[in-house]
Amino acid sequence: MNAEAFRHFYNYHFAENRKILEHVAALTFEQFTQKADYSRGSIREQLVHLVDVEDVWISELRGAQPSEPLPETTEVDDRDAIRSLWDSVERNTRAYLANLQGDQLFSKPITDPEEDKDLIVWQVLLHVVNHATDHRAQLLRALHDLGVDTKSQDYIFYVYENQ
């Protein structure tokens, strides 16, 4: 396990996030906000959850305050705001990863909340991508059900395309 491996893995993560956002751009506002009983709710609510959670975790690692969270529901099409926040979170994550050294992967920089203080950096970094993979799979299914032509998000396909 080394910092370069995490930078590589996050490149995959960012690429898959961008694919989801491209798919979502093709939806009508009604499809984007259509209620769903599974997981976090609508496609919009899933995206907001994803970006907010990632922002909180990476901010904790960086020792920074997360961005103001987006509202859970809205009556206006805020895809541009979601994309803007996601771009900001990606930039912050890339900056953090660019400076990450191997020995830092085993540190415990989170002091608050109490339940997170024993988490090791590599555990948090893996959690963020694993959590996003789970929600992207849910989003891919929802998008497919709405008629969007989606593709697999398997990591190995990213590797094949980016060797």
What does the pLDDT read at residue 68? 86
Cβ contact 98:7 at 8 Å: yes
What does the pLDDT read at residue 42? 92
Tokens linked to 146: 């709405």
- The domain locations on the chain are 3-161
The CATH homologous superfamily to which domain 3-161 belongs is: dinb family like domain (1.20.120.450)
Determine whether 147 is exposed, middle or buried from the number of CB atoms within 10 Å of its CB (0-12, 13-18, 19+). Answer: exposed
Residue ranges, the chain, pLDDT below 70 = none
Name the pTM for this structure: 0.91
What does the pLDDT read at residue 41? 79
What does the pLDDT read at residue 158? 94
What does the pLDDT read at residue 89? 96
Cβ contact 86:3 at 8 Å: no
**81 backbone dihedrals φ, ψ, rounded to 5°:** -65, -40
User: Which whole-number Å values give the CA distances from 63 to 8, 57, 58, 60, 127, in the listed order?
Assistant: 23, 10, 9, 5, 18
Residues 108, 92: Cα–Cα separation, whole Å: 19
What does the pLDDT read at residue 110? 94
